[in-house]
């Protein structure tokens, strides 16, 4: 075998090995990301189910503020449960074997940005709850309804604020676990192949 063919074969073998190693690293990172996302949605779904059960009981058995507090918990967490279910379904359909590094990172960065945006909305929810409580003191007919709803929105917003920030931090902490050699560039040269890595 002449030198040129040997160099070409060596280059192909090295490139194949490095590509396989990179893909294995991407798969491991992607699988762990799926576990983190699923875990987060199980937490959200568990919170939603507990609040719905508690809310249905309170709605049926309490009166006044507690009844409206329970009622809003049911309404609010029906949405939370739907979000958790849709997200779990989407995560379950994600195939780590066919996703590129760029696609995996894009998904993670999109989730991180969404959680940060949600945290901002959570602050608004908490503020809205206090506004409802404020107007409860000015309304004779709807005082108990506004106070009950306001207390529920404050509690739900506070939980979501902690949840979104903690969930995002877990994802941020996961990023450095990417293998160092995933960004691989191979260029054909006259004398063989030139491989470069981005760290």
188: left (phi over 0), alpha (psi -120 to 50) or beta: beta
Among 194, 199, 171, 162, smallest CA distance to 183 is for 199
Q: Please write the tens of the pLDDT for every residue from 129-173.
A: 999 999 998 888 899 999 999 999 999 999 999 999 999 999 999
Query: Rounded mean pLDDT of 111-128?
Result: 96
69 CB-contact burial (10 Å; exposed 0-12 / middle 13-18 / buried 19+):
buried
Decide if pLDDT at 8 tops 50: no
Q: What is residue 15's predicted lDDT score, i.e. its pLDDT?
A: 40
Residues ≥6 apart with Cβ < 8 Å to 44: 80, 83, 84, 163
Residue 119 in 3-state DSSP? Answer: helix
Provide the pLDDT confidence category of residue 177 given band limits of 50, 70 and 90.
low
- DSSP state letter for 162: H
Residue 197, beta-bridge partner list: 184
pLDDT digits (tens, 9 = 90+) for 83-103: 999 999 999 898 888 888 788
Domain range annotation of the chain: 3-198
What pLDDT, on the 0 to 100 scale, is given for residue 83?
97
Determine the pLDDT at residue 4.
Answer: 59
Question: Cβ distance 77 to 48 under 8 Å?
Answer: yes
């Amino acid at each position: 075998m002449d030198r040129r063919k040997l160099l070409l074969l060596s280059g192909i073998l090295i490139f194949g090995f490095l590509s396989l190693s990179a893909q294995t690293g991407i798969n491991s990172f992607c699988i762990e990301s799926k576990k983190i996302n699923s875990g987060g949605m199980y937490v959200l779904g568990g919170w939603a189910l507990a609040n719905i059960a508690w809310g249905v009981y309170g709605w049926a058995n309490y009166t006044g503020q507690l009844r409206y507090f329970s009622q809003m918990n049911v309404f609010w967490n029906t949405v939370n449960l739907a979000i958790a279910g849709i997200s779990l379904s989407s995560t379950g359909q994600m195939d780590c074997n066919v996703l590129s590094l760029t696609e995996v990172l894009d998904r993670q960065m999109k989730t991180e940005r969404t959680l940060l945006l949600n945290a901002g909305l959570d602050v608004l929810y908490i503020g809205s709850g206090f506004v409802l409580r404020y107007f409860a003191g000015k309304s004779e007919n709807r005082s108990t309804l506004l106070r009950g709803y306001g207390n529920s929105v404050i509690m739900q917003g506070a939980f979501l604020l902690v949840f979104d920030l903690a969930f995002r931090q877990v994802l941020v902490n996961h990023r450095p676990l990417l293998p160092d050699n995933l960004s691989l560039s191979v260029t054909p040269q006259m004398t063989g192949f030139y491989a470069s890595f981005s760290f």
